[in-house]
Amino acid sequence: MRKLKIVILVFLLAIMHTTITFGQLELEDLKIDITITNFQYATNFQGTNVYTKNGLSDINTTNPSAFSITLAENVSYEDAKSQLEQLFLISKMNGYKMTDVIQQDTLVNGNKIFQISYTETDESIKYKNYVFNAFIIKDKTLIFFVSGDLDNGIYIEKFKQTFYALKI
């Protein structure tokens, strides 16, 4: 079931990637402060950069703490928000108990953002994931940030800081 969640997330991002025209802004243009988490670049999956504690060596492990960033052009605020809400609903449908849910629409440096954070748990297998997902739209570019902390919450605030520190 856990691998299914990762596959569904990648599937959603792949759909978004294949249905959206990418513009001149590339992931390489985005300044990501990985010193906040000390996470390493792990891989690029169809336009989504993934970062984990140990980089590439974590890719085949089950449920590593990680964050990912995807860029897309000409995505509406409503469509991007719908994608994040879909990730939340998928977790619920997979039977996770959802707690500490916080959703917020706001402005950061004049740019619209939406963020959602929550804790998903499955006590039967001692699974607890602190989730922070968000996006920001700058001009016509969407920056889509997805993260999961499976290390007892030690990274969740750092994931938030990493998102807020993104520079174009």
**Per-residue pLDDT tens over the stretch 3-62:** 444 444 544 454 444 444 444 567 677 889 999 999 999 999 888 999 999 999 998 888
Produce one character per residue of 76-100: b if its CB has 16 or more CB atoms within 10 Å, e if not. eeeebbebbeebbebbeeeebeeee
- CATH number where 125 lies: 3.40.1000
Can you give the pLDDT at residue 19? Answer: 44
Domain that holds residue 87: 2-164
Q: How far apart are CA 33 and CA 22, in angstroms?
A: 23
Q: How far apart are CA 2 and CA 62, in angstroms?
A: 8
Mean pLDDT across the stretch 99-103?
Answer: 97
The answer to whether residue 168 scores a pLDDT higher than 80 is: no
Nearest to 147 by CA among 23, 37, 25: 37
Look at the chain and count its residues: 168
**How many beta carbons lie within 10 A of that of residue 101, not counting itself?**
12
Q: What is the DSSP letter of 31?
A: B
Q: How many domains does the chain divide into?
A: 1
Confidence of residue 111 (pLDDT cuts 50, 70, 90): confident
CB 85 within 8 A of CB 35: no
Residues in contact with 84: Cβ distance below 8 Å, sequence separation at least 6, in sequence order: 114, 116, 133, 134, 135
Mean pLDDT across the stretch 98-109?
Answer: 93
Q: How far apart are CA 59 and CA 77, in angstroms?
A: 30
The answer to whether residue 87 scores a pLDDT higher than 80 is: yes
